[in-house]
Chains A and B, each alone.
Chain A
Amino acid sequence: MARPGPKEQRYDRQLRLWGDHGQEALESAHVCVINATATGTEILKNLVLPGIGSFTIVDGNQVSGEDVGNNFFLQKSHIGQNRAQSATELLQELNGDVSGNFVEESPEKLLDNDPSFFNRFNLVVATQLPESTLLRLAEVLWNSNIPLLVCRTYGLVGYMRVVIKEHTVVESHPDNMLEDLRLDKPFPELIEHVQDYDLERMDKKDHSHTPWIVIVAKYLTKWFSEKSEQLPKNYKEKEAFKELIRQGILKNDNGTPEDEENFEEAIKNVNTALNRTEIPRGIEELFNDDCCLKLTEQSSSFWILVRALKEFVANEGQGSLPVRGTIPDMMADSNKFIKLQNVYREKAKKDTAAVGSHAAKLLQSLGKAPESVSERELKLFCSNAAFLHVVRCRSLAEEHSPNSCSRDAIISHMDNPDSEIVLYLMLRAVNRFYKQHGRYPGVYNYQVEDDIGKLKSCLTGFLQEHGLSVAVKDDYVHEFCRYGAAEPHAVAAFMGGAAAQEVIKVITGQFFLQYLQFCKYFGVLPLTGLFCSVLLAN
């Protein structure tokens, strides 16, 4: 009998979120984290615990007293030693399944001497990097098509940005998934199955154990023949349709209706069960995407499958996506339920096979091996066909260029002077300060007063250069000076959780990404919460 092994026990609680295939993806990933700062090690901790395959820390710094003060994975005894190595040792202890590596070199040096170094990773996380280094790194990764997560803790402000050319999600785990029942467009096998039921000539027990899907399908036929050629659409029609079903409830000898829960279920489900089967707009857009239309040898299996899906829709699917093949639990005896379930399952299998054969033809024409799309991948893809999702971000270079910096969006957001976007502008201003002065503002208390003026002029310079005619409150300038580029542990811990979550989403290819976030906690301004926007990333 199947018994969970040690790994399954250890990871049990997370397998229930992303499944064993998500876990497999995680376990085969190699992630690079630049800088073993508090933010860096907190992210790593949250990747090592769930069992990332391996990590490599890149850090040329020595451990300082300040590091020991805010970083759980650095100890007093490490002071003066290399930060990458020290952190790796302690992080490694968290999980023996994870392979930890370190490189005692600054990212700048690596970029100078061996930029291809970064090609070996599935994803790179950059924490607390100066802007110039970040832009260089981002360019290298962009060209190699490696996802980058930028993460920064600056005083009480957190910043996170995913930089990814294209990210495709099959399992987006949408919140409110409607069932895919095809009652509006019943497929032949379903029609046939429903015809096998004769509600008029059933004994009472069978009548009250007929699945509601069959009941709705039956009465829909009746509706079409007696009332209208169209599906009940509005409230009035749906009520009329419900009444039609209600009349079908058996009556006892006194003429009072019996208690038939399955009919009640049918009536209750009318509203959602009669939704029209159509191709969601997002999927329609994927069909018209260049990546789908112009397949090449380099095309990913995702796009090959999108194309196969498109061809299925145009042919066997007769305008519809493959049947998902699952039905909700319902009042019915198991025999009837299983038969009905099998009708949907078999149809789903058939549709999946049809998509599969389109895919096989496409693979062949591209000169690819047929097994480059696995059976499991195909199945997962088809059952999620309505929820496929593609994310495309702008490069960091584009975001930073004065010519393409989302000027209008920023200006319109700044109509509210406390919009979170102000935090972004301030971060850009401190970056400029760093570039001009070789340090961040207000690192030592004695500098704060002086630096306020300097930071203000950096901000003005930045806004002018980017043609941003917006006013930033002085409060923000003061606050950012006071931060002194510190990395308080609680904020780093928070960012560590949020960023690791995004890394896991990118690696597992499940769930929606956040693109970009800011958060700010307290101080002179009311808590504004965590902001996330496609504004700058798209």
Chain B
Amino acid sequence: MAAALSGPLRPELAQAVSQARVLVVGAGGIGCELLKNLVLTGFSSIYVIDLDTIDVSNLNRQFLFQKKHVGRSKSQVAKESVLQFCPEANIIAYHDSIMNPDYNVEFFRQFTLVMNALDNRAARNHVNRMCLAADIPLIESGTAGYLGQVTVIKKGVTECYECQPKPTQKTFPGCTIRNTPSEPIHCIVWAKYLFNQLFGEEDADQEVSPDRADPEAAWEPAEAEARALASNEDGEIKRVSTKEWAKSTGYDPVKLFTKLFKDDIRYLLTMDKLWRKRKPPVPLDWAEVQKQEQNIPDQQNESSAVLKDQQVLNVRSYADLFSKSVKTLSLHLAEKADGEALIWDKDDPSAMDFVTAAANLRMHVFGMNMKSRFDIKSMAGNIIPAIATTNAVIAGLIVLEGLKILSGKIDQCRTIFLNKQPNPRKKLLVPCALDPPNPNCYVCASKPEVTVKLNTHKVTVLTLQDKILKEKFAMVAPDVQIEDGKGTILISSEEGETEANNHRKLSDFGIRNGTRLQADDFLQDYTLLINVLHSEDLEKDVEFEVVGDTPERIGPKPSEPTSRNISNGSDDGAQPSTSTAPEQEDVVIVDSEDEGTSSNAEDVESRSRKRKLEKGCECAGAKRSRAEQEQDQDDLMIVESEDEGAASSLGEEESRSHKRKLEEKGCECIRAKSMC
């Protein structure tokens, strides 16, 4: 059998392949292809890890899975399927998150090569650090629609995954969501929050009722602050009561409708300063709406269910859908044990109906054009189109890059871009030379150091931990000590040691302009020195800035039609939803069947699924994010490479055009009208 290989693979390489132990992180679209390719290339020791389970929408490309496997562990089924075809393969499967502390540097050190087949940045950052710490070469890859990319990361030789800052996912300000939505995505985010408020796990960051503390509504900043204080208290009460109140009405759809689309809107209208330059919303009245005719589905298109899903109905129909889905969901909730909540899932028809209806009604109230269920699903679930062919091409290239590494020719490795159509030079596949490490990288530099601009009187220890260290700097379990000569411990990763500090401000600990903090992540074997730059003039809604970082960008404007207008493979619908969720801000990119991930709603979902999976275990993973998925379009856009050798001018041109694409996106973003 090896005869087929002895031709193209030199004997030394064939031997290196058979002796290599490799780790595949993710058993989704790329992962399935990759496992097959590895086995058939002669790799005999393969580890695969994925925390996800199989969904129907995986089946159009994740060929190791069949209908009967839906709901089962991806890594486990992938292993079984490969073994069925190739019984002699040696595969070890983990149904787990790669961010679990069990997979420490020692674990990584046993591998010859690590291959990422992920779809989210949090896990990519983490594996990047683990491979740097263990000094194991990493092949990174991603696909989105027709686009794909493969690159190689080797400590001290190439750029690491985090050498170039990637634009962080913009989250939407609370007051845009609650008071002044200006784009469909704002209404969709609102509808998903509403789902959680009514049926799911309530979250203080997902408030849906009018925000009286909106500083824009007040004349005096001081007044706004006072109002904020007042409404915080008020908000607490309210938050508890949203669900309770809904329950007390027996989830009466008409009462809910009246509160959400009439009373709350009327309340918003009283904040007249908000509407001086905006078109004010128009409250909806249930009885009035009921006078409208219901939409009769377009007869012509009756034949195709897909088309039906793509139709935009009228307000009456969405009101009815709202009512129907509220009833269904409240029944589902009633069936649950006490204290258990529903989890938003774009593939759950009632949940999706609810969001479609609520988002559209709100869009209508705020004078936006309503959207089809198909489009809303795309935006709500951050769906990225995904096809078998692109994954096949990319997974083939991963193995070929792997062979170069195993034959000691890392200098021949390339970053390879797969384009949607041939560029003017008729190239579909564009190789670019790998860049050397960025000496200022805050991850792979010999002594990583950053400067963070923040207001020490406002930022709490918890914000430092969750938003700065975990979300921004991708640490999993940070320890922080103040370099004040005394080594004061500010944050400890040991449970219970420093919780008391959480809600205190940094200034309470003597942290001020020029203070240096040392943050360690034991698991990642990573130490980051943080210089604090105190500032009182950060923009509204900005809690901190990393000096020298690219400014945050909002994703492309999500309001263009999504199904046909696919300009670069990442359909704009795939864009951001929302989310202040600490661990998954960038899941923007996700191929959502792997789970819409992305928003708080799903965040909760992932956490609670996690709990399900880890029955019995200590839930160490409360802050772990969904790790193994494929596709993160981010890295499709961010890379800029220089080139050399024969293909040089081409590569350069290409990477420039990738960059241009990014800039175009940037432009679109500027156009997005977040008013808050």
Contact = CB atoms under 8 A, between A and B. Distances in A.
A158 B484 CA distance: 62
Contact of B383 (A13, A49, A338): A13
Contact of A488 (B41, B386, B389): B41
Contact of A329 (B353, B559, B591, B647): B559
Contacts of B347: 9
Given A175-B420, A493-B392, A69 B5 contact: yes
A4 B568 CA distance: 25
A494 B40 CA distance: 13
Contact of A531 (B397, B426, B557): B426
Nearest to A532: B426
Given A490-B37, A527-B431, A534 B387 contact: no
A176 B667 CA distance: 14
B427 interface: yes
B420 A493 contact: no
Interface stretch (B46-54, B302-310, B499-507, B610-618): B302-310
A1 B4 contact: no
A205 B275 CA distance: 10
A486 B9 CA distance: 10
Contacts of B421: 175, 511-512
Interface in B366-417: 367-369, 373, 378, 383-397, 399-400, 403-404, 409, 412, 414, 416
A525 to B, nearest CB: 9
A49 B85 CA distance: 17
Nearest to A335: B367
B429 A530 contact: yes
B270 interface: no
A72 B40 contact: yes
B505 to A, nearest CB: 35
A63 to B, nearest CB: 12
Interface string A7-20: 11111111111011
Interface string A84-99: 0000001001111000
Nearest to A172: B421
A529 B647 contact: yes
A156 B397 contact: no
Nearest to B651: A529
A359 B37 CA distance: 51
A12 B383 contact: yes
B308 A329 contact: no
Contact of A10 (B40, B60, B309): B60
A139 to B, nearest CB: 27
Interface string A186-219: 0000000000000000000100110000000000
B8 A483 contact: yes
B386 A13 contact: yes
A377 interface: no
Interface string A465-506: 000000000000000001111111111111111101100100
A46 B566 CA distance: 21
Contacts of B349: 3-4
B304 A20 contact: yes
Contacts of A485: 7
Given A14-B385, A46-B389, A66-B1, A1 B353 contact: yes
A72 B540 CA distance: 56
A173 interface: yes
B466 interface: no
Interface stretch (A236-244, A424-432, A514-522): A514-522
A492 B6 CA distance: 16
Contacts of A530: 427-429
B470 to A, nearest CB: 30
Given A334-B369, A522-B404, A529-B647, A19 B309 contact: no
Contact of B387 (A14, A95, A331, A495): A14
Q: Which of B297, B394, B421 has the most CB of A within 10 A?
A: B421
Interface string B528-551: 000000000000000000000000
A482 B56 contact: no
B112 interface: no
A416 B649 CA distance: 14
B57 A9 contact: yes
Nearest to A517: B428
Nearest to B560: A329
A528 interface: yes
A50 B394 CA distance: 17
Given A175-B568, A489-B37, A49 B7 contact: no
A80 B131 CA distance: 45
Contact of B309 (A4, A51, A482, A529): A4
A100 interface: no
Most chain A C-beta atoms within 10 Å of own C-beta, residue among B321, B383, B646: B646
Contact of B4 (A66, A72, A94, A156): A66
B473 interface: no
B376 to A, nearest CB: 12
Contact of B279 (A76, A333, A504, A534): A333
B201 interface: no
Contacts of B563: 15-16, 19
Contact of B63 (A10, A94, A328, A528): A94
A17 B673 contact: no
A2 B650 CA distance: 47
A489 to B, nearest CB: 4
A498 B6 contact: no
A215 B317 CA distance: 35
Given A482-B8, A490-B400, A497 B392 contact: yes
Contacts of A519: 429
Contacts of B673: 261, 331
Given A333-B279, A494-B392, A175 B567 contact: yes
B397 A49 contact: no
A199 B604 CA distance: 50
Contacts of B640: none
Contacts of A51: 60
A16 B566 contact: yes
A105 interface: no
B232 to A, nearest CB: 30
Contact of A8 (B305, B386, B647): B305
A241 B71 CA distance: 60
Nearest to A209: B279
B277 A10 contact: no
A483 B388 contact: no
A62 to B, nearest CB: 16
Contact of A2 (B373, B392, B573, B646): B373
B422 A491 contact: no
Given A16-B566, A442-B7, A5 B305 contact: yes
Contacts of B287: none
A14 B60 contact: yes
Contacts of B391: 497
B392 A500 contact: yes
B595 interface: no
Contacts of A255: none
Given A20-B307, A45-B388, A50 B60 contact: yes
A249 B367 CA distance: 24
Given A486-B5, A501-B390, 9 more contacts: A17-B387, A49-B60, A72-B40, A156-B400, A418-B646, A484-B8, A491-B8, A501-B387, A526-B412
23 contacts: A1-B324, A1-B353, A12-B593, A13-B60, A13-B384, A16-B562, A16-B563, A17-B385, A17-B387, A45-B388, A94-B63, A208-B277, A329-B560, A482-B7, A486-B5, A486-B6, A486-B7, A492-B396, A493-B392, A498-B389, A500-B392, A517-B428, A529-B427
Closest 5 CB pairs of A and B: A497-B392, A494-B396, A69-B1, A486-B7, A530-B429
Interface of A: 1-17, 19-20, 23-24, 38, 42, 45-46, 49-51, 65-66, 68-73, 75-76, 90, 93-96, 155-156, 173, 175-177, 205, 208-209, 259, 261, 265, 328-329, 331, 333-335, 337-338, 416, 418, 442-443, 445, 482-498, 500-501, 504, 511-512, 514, 517, 519, 521-523, 526-534
